[in-house]
Structures are given as C-alpha cells and as structure tokens.
Amino acid sequence: MRDFDSRRRGKRRFDDDDPRYDKRQPGRAQLPAEDALDAVDGLPEGDRWSTWDQSTAGQRGPRPHPDWLVTALAAVDTELGVLKTGKEADVFLLRRGVPGTDDSCLLAAKRYRSAEHRLFHRDAGYLEGRRVRESRTNRAMAHRTAFGQQMIAAQWADAEFGALCRLYDAGVPVPYPVQILDTEVLLEFIGEPDGTAAPRLAETRTRGADLVPLWDQVVELLVTLARFGLAHGDLSAYNLLVHRGRVVVIDLPQVVDVVANPRGAYFLERDALNVGKWFTGHDLTGGTVTPDELPALLRKEAGLG
C-alpha cells in the first residue's frame, strides 16, 4: 500500500437519495444487445464518441489502467439509463465500446448538475479548509453567487476524483476513477455484467454474526482513511456497496481533511457512529472492534487524541 500526502448522513445528504431504477427490472438498466453498437454511423441520439482523449493525463485514473477499461479513441459511449438520482448529481450507466468488436466496458457517469438546479445548502462545513488562490473566487463561493456555485460544483467533482485516485492507489476499496471532464466523473461500474448494480449495505438482509466480515471491512477502510488524515464526511449504510462479499465505499465529494478542517474530528466520529448504529441495529455480534470502540480508534489513527 502506498501512502499519499494527506495535507493537500444516520440521515442521508447530498447525492445519497434513494436510487430510482427501471421499474420493470429493479436495479438494472436496460442493456441493448452487444451488436447494437455495430450500426453506429454518425452516432444515434444519446450516444457520443469516447471522451477519453478530452481529459488530460492528470484528469485520468491511476496507472496502470485496468485491463477492462476501454481507452480506444474509436469507442462510443452509449447511455443505458439512470443508476441513481441525487440533490447535486445524478449517476448514469454507460457502455463504452468499439463498434464492430467485443471490446466494451460498463461505466458509471456521475454528473453534477447545472448551477440553477444545484442545492448546495449544507456544504459550508465540508468546504472549511478548502480554499482556492483567487480571493474573488473565494468571495463568490462564500456568497453563493451563480459563478460561486459553479466553482463549488467543480470543487465537488475535483475533490471526489482526486480522493478516489489517491485512495485507489492506497488500496482502499473504491471504484476505479476513470476520468474527469468538467463536472462529469466517470467511474468503474460496481455490479454485474448485465448492468445490475451492486446493492447498498442498507439493502442487504444480512444480520447477526454473518455481518462480521462486512463490519471488519468497514473498520479497515475507516482506519485507513483516518491514517491518511481523512474522513468520508457523510458515511452511512447508503454509500457502502456490497459486491460479492466485498465492501466498496462511494460518494466522496465531501471528503474531509480532518487536520485542515476545524470540524475534522466531528466528521470522523460521525462517520463511525453512523455505520456503527446501522450494524448494531442489525444485531452485529463480534468483530475486530466494537461499534462503541470505533470513534476512539479513528481519533487515535488520525492523531487527534
């Protein structure tokens, strides 16, 4: 595991609203046949050429790029449906594939909304410790002008992509961050090849002793974040996915530097209490630490006492 420089919602918030799935097949977008891409000529409405070449090297995920990722410039992005809706961003399912070949992959496209539709009404606490060099921009963000909201949206996208890159490199279980372009973040799709998304922890029916493997994974990922001086900032059972027994953490635009942010310790403890309450409520028995012990453990790992 490689280190990186750490200085640089109970209730759900931000983009953690309940997902809205196709009612005919809950949890799965309607996937067209693989040969549907063969007919692309001028691109049907809703399709686009791959945006891979539009992102600079610093706007692409860590190297080496995964073998499953399609990076060919001849690829086409086909939008397959909505995976999740939220207050600040919506997540769409895309297939990126090269027409006439079997070379394709599924991606999750997280798109932050335009300024007039964005509701950054609870962002002040997360933005503490995040400032930009230009005083005009800082003032606009503080006063929530249209320009300021646009800059805040860019900060959310940049913060999420940057955190995902660092955490993926460090071995934290997060989706592979494919690329960022403006306020769209393309991510590894966590789910099945047929487009069925991995369930959230809150949607699982596991209880009691069977929860111990999942709990231990959550403890490990939170401890790793704390060692790097970070807190998720809005962790709950709604932004932890369970894919084939593996816990994957998502929704990281509000990641908090617990040293730079005056309320860092609060966010660190709140993450621990939120997930601990869910596991306790589902009769967790056993584990490396108890839910009651987790907040103190995270403070210690973060060097906050």
Q: Which residues are catalytic?
A: 234, 251
Number of helices and strands in the chain (H, E):
6, 10
- Contact assessment for residue 107 and residue 80, using Cβ atoms and an 8 Å cutoff: no
Residue 31 CA: distances (Å) to CA of 35, 74, 94, 98, 106: 11, 21, 9, 16, 10
DSSP output for 93-127: EEEEE-TTSS-EEEEEEEEEPPGGG---TT-HHHH
Output the CA torsion sign for 196, 157, 247, 291: negative
Q: φ, ψ for residue 172 (rounded to 5)?
A: -75, 140
Residue with tokens 């997280």: 110
> DSSP state, 37?
G
CB 235 within 8 A of CB 275: yes
Instruction: Give buried/exposed letters for 81-105 (b at 16+ CB in 10 A, else e).
Output: bebbebbbbbbbbbbbbbbeeeebb
Question: Contact, 183 vs 65, CB < 8 A?
Answer: no
